[in-house]
Structure 1
Amino acid sequence: MSLSCLAVAGSAGAAELELQGRRLVVSGTLDGSKVKAFTEHLSSGTVRTVVFEDSFGGTAEAAGAYADAIRESGVQTEVRGHCMAACAYAFLAGKTHRFGHGLQVNGILVPVATRPTAAELAVRWRGEEARKTLADFTPAPANADAARPIETNATAPAPKDNWQPDHGVLFTASPTLFGRIYNTYYCDGTQGRDFSKCERLSDADPYKLGVLTE
């Protein structure tokens, strides 16, 4: 299996939640539509692990809400399949975070504004640093444009997140006969969903960087 497996991605709808025993499976786009239900599930004390399954993005605001709920409840997180952008930041908030077992290729793409240096990679997604980097992509407050003249009969568009689709650092795990092979890539966004065009990063083991903990 290769990076081409990650490129086969259907259109993702709104977030969906499914409680499976003590595991809460989250799929779809983290757009905020299920934040309240998600928080209630975690507040109940029943959930031990949040499993993100084929979640292809969402908003920075929703990512922060999911991450806060995960962090406050102290649950573990797991990825099965794809976990992109907003999903990635929610995933990193887990007490422990891991890739799921099975024959699927697992991939997590964490947005970045620019190509990170080796020094930045070493600390970027550990503890409070993960919150700081998420804040880099949060839309500016609505009052930031207060000084601008108000146009009549015009509908102001909602502020957009600053991250670009498919631009970030991609961590993958591919199953083989001899176990899983882990790789890390920098994707500048021009590759679209053809992640085989991303640049492979050396010395960027996801365990050493704190992206995976078990």
Structure 2
Amino acid sequence: MKSPLGVIWGISLALLCPAALAAELELQGTRLLVSGMLDGTAVKAFEEQLASGHIRTVVFENSLGGTPEVASEFAQAIRANGVNTEVKGQCHAACAYAFLAGKEHRFGRGFQVNGLLIPVAGRPRPADLVSRWNGDDGVRTLSDFIAPPAEAAPTDTAATALPSAAAASASAPAAVQAAAAPKERWQANQGVLFVSTPTLFGRVYNSFYCDGTQGRDMSRCELLSDADPYKLGVLTP
């Protein structure tokens, strides 16, 4: 039998399937609402809105997926303009790293289940969690997923056109493998999941490690102990 959290999470994700659409922006006074996948289509408009100086808070609402490169662009604009960030509903993958770039980054209030899924390359050790997303450490963690510029890689087209990952591993030059590795490590469903669930007595926070095999059934993720999002700097007071 699934836990109540698993049931709530399964329902919320089933309702959020349409959120895989391209990112959309909506201006609400001094708040800029961002929803949908961070696929790069709204980067320029996002940067222009923040550069106007009128935005105080960027609100990510049900934003699932995106690439590390786009996450870096959103994060850079947020950091450069010193705005706060907020999550309402779900914020996964690229959205999570953009969220962490806020001057203050918090979960929104209300009766929704808030979830932040931060991609990581493997199961983090307790020592890794302590500083992984604090300040510049979050930027360095994100940069690990971003491949170096294409011109830095050899122009051996025969090697890069291999039909399978196994063949590439056996035959491609080391530099080509190094350039491809970051993208292979970026898995939108693999990472550390922070969940905030409303109850009659306030919000309950839980942290999980998801290895990517769970699909949309987040109740299959492993519960992490001593991973309070406030202590780890994932959420600010």
Q: TM-score, normalised by structure 1?
A: 0.92
C-alpha contact 1:49 1:76 (8 A) present in aligned 2:
yes
Aligned pair count reads 209
Distance across 2 between alignment mates of 1:203 and 1:4: 24
Distance across 1 between alignment mates of 2:7 and 2:40: 30
Quote the residue 2:45 is aligned against. Answer: 37
Q: Which amino acid counterpart does residue 132 of structure 1 have in structure 2?
A: R
Among residues 222, 227, 235, which one is paired with 1:199 in the alignment?
222
Q: Which amino acid counterpart does residue 5 of structure 1 have in structure 2?
A: I
C-alpha contact 1:19 1:25 (8 A) present in aligned 2:
yes
C-alpha contact 2:92 2:188 (8 A) present in aligned 1:
no
Q: Which amino acid counterpart does residue 227 of structure 2 have in structure 1?
A: A
Q: Give the gaps of 5 or more residues in structure 1.
A: 152-158
Distance across 2 between alignment mates of 1:149 and 1:90: 34
User: 5 Å matches for 1:174-213?
Assistant: 174-213=197-236
Helix, strand or coil for the counterpart of 1:88?
helix
C-alpha distance after superposition, 1:169-202 (max 9, x if no partner):
0000000000000000000001011000000000
1:136 aligned onto 2:144: yes
How many angstroms does 1:148 deviate by?
1.1
How many angstroms does 1:150 deviate by?
5.4
How many angstroms does 1:144 deviate by?
4.5
Q: Which moved more, 1:124-133 or 1:1-10?
A: 1-10
Distance across 1 between alignment mates of 2:149 and 2:214: 31
Among residues 63, 70, 84, which one is paired with 1:76 in the alignment?
84
Helix, strand or coil for the counterpart of 1:143?
helix
C-alpha contact 1:4 1:195 (8 A) present in aligned 2:
no
Quote the residue 2:54 is aligned against. Answer: 46
Q: Give the gaps of 5 or more residues in structure 2.
A: 160-179
Distance across 2 between alignment mates of 1:111 and 1:145: 25
1:124 aligned onto 2:128: no
C-alpha contact 1:79 1:106 (8 A) present in aligned 2:
yes
C-alpha contact 2:71 2:94 (8 A) present in aligned 1:
yes
Q: TM-score, normalised by structure 2?
A: 0.84
Quote the residue 1:5 is aligned against. Answer: 8
Distance across 2 between alignment mates of 1:174 and 1:205: 14
RMSD between aligned residues: 1.9
Quote the residue 2:102 is aligned against. Answer: 94
Q: Which amino acid counterpart does residue 115 of structure 1 have in structure 2?
A: R
C-alpha distance after superposition, 1:13-62 (max 9, x if no partner):
11100000110000001111111110111111111000000000101111
How many angstroms does 1:97 deviate by?
0.4
Distance across 2 between alignment mates of 1:129 and 1:143: 27
Distance across 2 between alignment mates of 1:193 and 1:132: 28
Quote the residue 1:19 is aligned against. Answer: 27
Helix, strand or coil for the counterpart of 1:114?
coil
